A and B are shown apart, each in its own frame.
Chain A
Amino acid sequence: MEDFFLIPSQAWGPFLLWILVTVVQIPWIIWCLMKIEKSGVRRWGACGRLFSTGD
């Protein structure tokens, strides 16, 4: 069998799909967090720091 990087090439498709569906939420969440901070609504968690929950 040929040498491969991490996993054999025949299996790249499903693993790339798995990684893609995992990271796809990141831009959405960052956008939502920025919207919350911009709104300034403390009840929603706005506290001046993007990844802090204001606890």
Chain B
Amino acid sequence: MSTSIIIGVILILYLVGLVLFTNRGFKEVTSLTEFTTSGHRLGLIFTIAAFVATWLSASSVTGIPSMLFTRGVPTVTGWFAGWFFATSLMAIVAYKIRMPERPSRTLPEFFKLRYEPYAEKSGLQVIAALSVVAAYIAYIVLQIKAVGMIVATVTGLPYAVAVFAFLIFLVYTASGGMWTVAWGDLINSVLIAIGLFLAGGIVLSKVGGWHAMWVAISTTTAPAAVGGAPLAPGSMLSSVGSFGVAAMVGIFFANAFGGAVSPHMTARMMGARNVKTALLMPLYGIGFLFICFIPILILGFGGKILLGSIPAGKGSDWLIPMLLTQFMHPVVGGIILAAILAAALSTANAQLLHNSLALTYDIARNIKKTPIPEDKFMTWTKVLIIGVGVLLTIAAIWPPKFIAMLAMWTHGLWCSTFFVPLLFGLYWKRMNRQAAYASAILGTISFIGIYQVWSVLWGIPAILCSVIVSVVAAIVCSYAFPHAPKECWEPYFTPDISDSTRKAVSIALKDNE
């Protein structure tokens, strides 16, 4: 039986399993809150599965090994440490954001509830939604591209066919809202772990074991690409490599601060059954992720030893397809390919869902004068999921130039817009509406401006500059303007809220629609 057929059968088995699990999620979607945030009743297993599956994306399972292959240990400094610090910071957000008896349904809506619950049309919600949409455009295109490339290479399918086939399942798993994403993630999280350990185990055995791998990496001089300049021996072990300290600090903090406030992760906290569930999600999740990153490390360094250099004309993204086709039995390669698909799908479907919700829920529903019936709203969102999915898939085939720029900005954009208004809002009663607007707008402008012009200003990376600007703006405006009213902060500080606060929340959530 040919390799393509074997791999095809395994992929079909995975996709059938995925559809069966996803279908169970459709039955739960009985209201707007069930659609957006699983009715705030996801149990611990669902929450952890959704968390780890969404966390592990194509960037983790293919992009990180590629970076390890090219750059070596600096990947651990900037990306391993940065992303895991983000996960630790999520615990600070998780403790408070799920405290209210009626949490917000999206991250942009949190800003409305916390800062301007009486506003008919919330400008903060719109600003946050635009930041969400801009970053997700790049993020989703990158996931689709990675999957298309790997599937096309390993199976022989044309790239365009591979990405549109991926789109079908992407849209299907996102179209039932948070519930279908969560049910799909039950199977995705298990498959990702199986695939990673299988791949890591095989590569480790082929390079002679853990110790032999490190000895070889310590002495390799093979350039990343054939024909490139040889590496200095030991350069793969450098802590910051060619990045330099300032740039590496910037990468670390962009990944850490931006990742901690990412909309799809805060959505999982708000979807949790209670505060404890939201808190245990990063605790148990990070343990699972730490273990999964060991085989990811092995794929990068082991791949470097097995392949040496990538052939000229191909980028380091070819690492995983080459490992699968040259070193894995077809059955094993098929399972690992299914795991990569699961990683990309489980992240991209959540991002597609929250991207669409940012447009329908946080912008359209927010600013529209007349109420939108719930069933109509959900239909619009599903149509938008399909429409945006198609557009972004086309962009993955013919990527516009601005996609690459957006990709550099993703975490930085979220950090500069959300980090201070979110954390200060959760832990500082005095933080008011004016401070939120100032810190979000000035933080975002300063990040984009400094990043584009200097990248590093007076030795401080752009991301940290923007956080400093945000913090100063927040503090100045919090004292220059009146204290936030009780209705804004009470749900995040006390278990029993007053009637006026309960009424304000009901108005803000548009309960009468």
Contacts and interface: CB of A to CB of B under 8 A. Distances in A.
Interface of A: 1, 4, 6-8, 10-11, 13-15, 17-18, 21-22, 24-26, 28-29, 32-33, 36, 39, 41, 43-46, 51-55
B43 interface: yes
Interface of B: 43-44, 73-74, 76-77, 80-81, 84-85, 87-89, 91-92, 95, 99, 101, 210, 214-215, 218-219, 234, 237-239, 256, 273-277, 279-280, 282-283, 286, 290, 495
Contacts of B279: 29, 32-33, 36
A5 to B, nearest CB: 10
B81 A14 contact: yes
A8 B237 contact: yes
A34 B84 CA distance: 24
Given A29-B91, A53-B276, A53-B280, 5 more contacts: A13-B239, A25-B91, A39-B495, A45-B273, A53-B273
Contact of A28 (B84, B91, B219, B280): B91
A33 B275 CA distance: 9
3 tightest A-B CB contacts, nearest first:
A45-B276, A25-B88, A21-B85
Contacts of A51: 280
Given A10-B237, A44-B495, A28 B92 contact: yes
A33, A43, A53: residue with the most chain B Cβ atoms closer than 10 Å: A53
Contacts of B89: 25
A51 B74 CA distance: 36
A6 B276 CA distance: 35
Contacts of B92: 28
B87, B101, B275: residue with the most chain A Cβ atoms closer than 10 Å: B275
Contacts of B495: 39, 41, 43-44
Contacts, number: 103
Nearest to B274: A45
B247 to A, nearest CB: 15
Contacts of B215: 1
Contacts of A1: 215, 218-219
Nearest to B96: A32
Contacts of B76: 11, 14-15, 17-18
Nearest to A49: B276
Contacts of B214: 4, 7-8
Given A7-B214, A13-B239, A45-B276, A21 B73 contact: no
A45 B234 CA distance: 51
B236 to A, nearest CB: 9
